[in-house]
Amino acid sequence: MRIADLLRHKGSEVASVPPGVSVAGLLEDLARHNVGAMVVCDETGTLVGIVSERDVVRRLNETGAELLHQPVSEIMTTAVVTCEPTEAVDSIASIMTERRIRHMPVVSAGKLVGIVSIGDVVRSRIEQLETDREQLESYIAQG
């Protein structure tokens, strides 16, 4: 299965914020979209970072409540690991596990076309294992 297949099932909508939005604004958007991370895009729509609830919590612990007034650009990860729609889900699962990445933007021809979470990847893998099991049971039953 490819990332494109996963996006077809999941959808390709990506919630994003500009780098200048406050951390408080980010938290509102995370809650409204019911997501754990958001990509950060500049005014041209170019991916410039990613920021997660974990980033907020860790920085909040370091700096206190004044963090809520700082721009997202102060806490976002700028070295964003991305994938392409043509990549295999199993390959991306390995990268996400090894690098401890929970959300990976999907980019095609330099444009953001989706985002996958570790939950999406695990769900896809479980569905594939279920299909394989059903096929094996059918094969054995016909045996």
CATH topology of domain 3-142: CBS-domain (3.10.580)
* CA pseudo-torsion sign 2, 44, 77, 102: negative
Q: Is the pLDDT of residue 14 over 80?
A: yes
pLDDT of residue 9: 87
The CA-atom distances, in angstroms, between 54 and each of 38, 58, 61 are: 12, 6, 11
Q: In what side-by-side order are the strands of the sheet with 47-52?
A: 16-17, 37-41, 47-52
pTM: 0.85
d(CA 87, CA 92): 7
Domain ranges of the chain: 3-142
Query: In terms of DSSP bridges, do strands 16-17 and 111-117 run parallel, antiparallel, or are they unpaired?
Result: unpaired
Residue pLDDT, tens place only, 83-138: 999 999 999 999 999 999 999 999 998 889 999 999 999 888 888 888 888 888 88
Our CA angle for 25, 97, 119, nearest 5°, is 55
Tell me the per-residue pLDDT of 42-64, one tens digit each, with 9 for 90 and over.
Answer: 998 899 999 999 999 999 989 99
Give the number of other CB atoms < 10 A from CB of residue 43.
8
The predicted pLDDT at position 143 comes to 66
Confidence band (pLDDT; 50, 70, 90) for 24?
very high
